[in-house]
Amino acid sequence: MIELAAGDLTLVLAPEIGGSIAAFRKGGIDVMRALTPERAAKGDVLGVASFPMLPYANRIDGNRFTFEGVTYRFEANNGAERFNVHGTGWHSAWEAERLSDTTVEMTLERRVAGEPYQYRATQRFELSAEGLTLSTTLENIGPVRMPFGFGHHPWFDRDADVELTFAARNFWLEAPDGVAGSRITTPPELDFSNGAGLPPHWRNNDYSGWDGRATLRFPKRGVTLVIEADPIFENLMLYADPKQSFFCLEPQTNVPCAANKFETGEEGLGLVVLAPGEGMDGVVRFGVR
């Protein structure tokens, strides 16, 4: 674990557990759900505060897609789930270098025989008294062009008084097995632009055409988190199960199952086609007050 501090903010990083954030606190109050010592001892990436999603975010429908005449196949990688999800970065150990008292850079180079993607990624964590700036770069080091994307997967405690505020043009319906279905204009009952509490029913949907800003208010904790993302992050994924003690709000570049929809010619999916040696980057800021 690597711990950074600035003002009354604390950031704990777990490079070997998926290049993840283990804890993010203000004055000792958890802003994100913290990794417990028990889950840390097991290397449980599903217990962290946030992990990176790359070289794509969310699912590969059917564990396969075809791009430029080649069919690429994937293995299921998340327990009992049928389909591959969130790529390989979150299942990898990252190398970390502490650049200063408030800055850490993590790197991952992934070349595994049989895997469709070969890539080099960096995450730069810069903590200030106002919040966290998280910069991500992703480079195609494979031999062919491929569609890439990335995102971040924060987990939050599901307090009864949580309020979310964000604006997005579209809402993706959910098909079986967490697959993205059809895209519709965001209806009023699913809209958070004027602020709303967590939905009382299951929600596992992508909001696309996101304007890059989201506010999470935790009145009982006395904390507000403001997420501000570069324009490349066109999508915001909301996972909220009322049976769970947590929820997730995930800034990401691409729509779930984007590679599958890309092959049918659908547009506005947020994927970036990178030739060998080309890269993409983006910044997300987590401001705390």
pTM over 0.75: yes
pLDDT at position 177 is 87
pLDDT at position 197 is 97
Q: For 245-265, how does the pLDDT look when each residue is reduced to its tens digit (9 = 90+)?
A: 999 999 999 999 999 998 888
Looking at residue 123, its amino acid is: Q
* Burial class for 189, CB neighbours closer than 10 Å (0-12, 13-18, 19+): exposed
Q: For 92-116, how does the pLDDT look when each residue is reduced to its tens digit (9 = 90+)?
A: 999 999 999 999 999 999 999 999 9
- Quote the tokens at residue 212: 């890059």
The span from the CA of 179 to the CA of 159, in Å, is: 27
Is residue 259 within 8 A of residue 65, CB to CB? The reply is yes
* Burial class for 251, CB neighbours closer than 10 Å (0-12, 13-18, 19+): buried
Q: For 18-58, how does the pLDDT look when each residue is reduced to its tens digit (9 = 90+)?
A: 999 999 999 999 999 999 999 999 999 999 999 999 999 99
Q: What is the mean pLDDT of residues 206-225?
A: 97
Domains of the chain: 2-288 (2.70.98.10)
Res 282 pLDDT > 90: yes
pLDDT at position 264 is 86
pLDDT at position 95 is 98
Q: What is the mean pLDDT of residues 158-183?
A: 95
Give the DSSP per-residue string, the chain.
-EEEEETTEEEEEETTTTTEEEEEEETTEESSPPPPHHHHHTT-GGGSSEEEEBSS-SB-GGGEEEETTEEEE----STT-SS-BSBSGGGSPPEEEE-SSSEEEEEEEE--TT-S--EEEEEEEEE-SSEEEEEEEEEE-SSS-EEE--EEEEEEE--TT-EEEEEEEEEEEE-GGG-EEEEEEPPGGG--TT-EE--SS-EEEEEEEEEEEEEEEETTTTEEEEEEE-TT--EEEEEE-TTSSEEEEEEESS-TTHHHHHTTT------EEE-TT-EEEEEEEEEE-
Mean pLDDT value across the chain: 96
Q: What is the mean pLDDT of residues 208-221?
A: 97
pLDDT at position 265 is 85
Of the pLDDT bands very low, low, confident and very high (cuts 50, 70, 90), residue 163 is: very high
Q: Which residue has the tokens 């949580």?
A: 162
Res 178 pLDDT > 90: no
pLDDT at position 193 is 97
Q: What is the mean pLDDT of residues 208-222?
A: 97
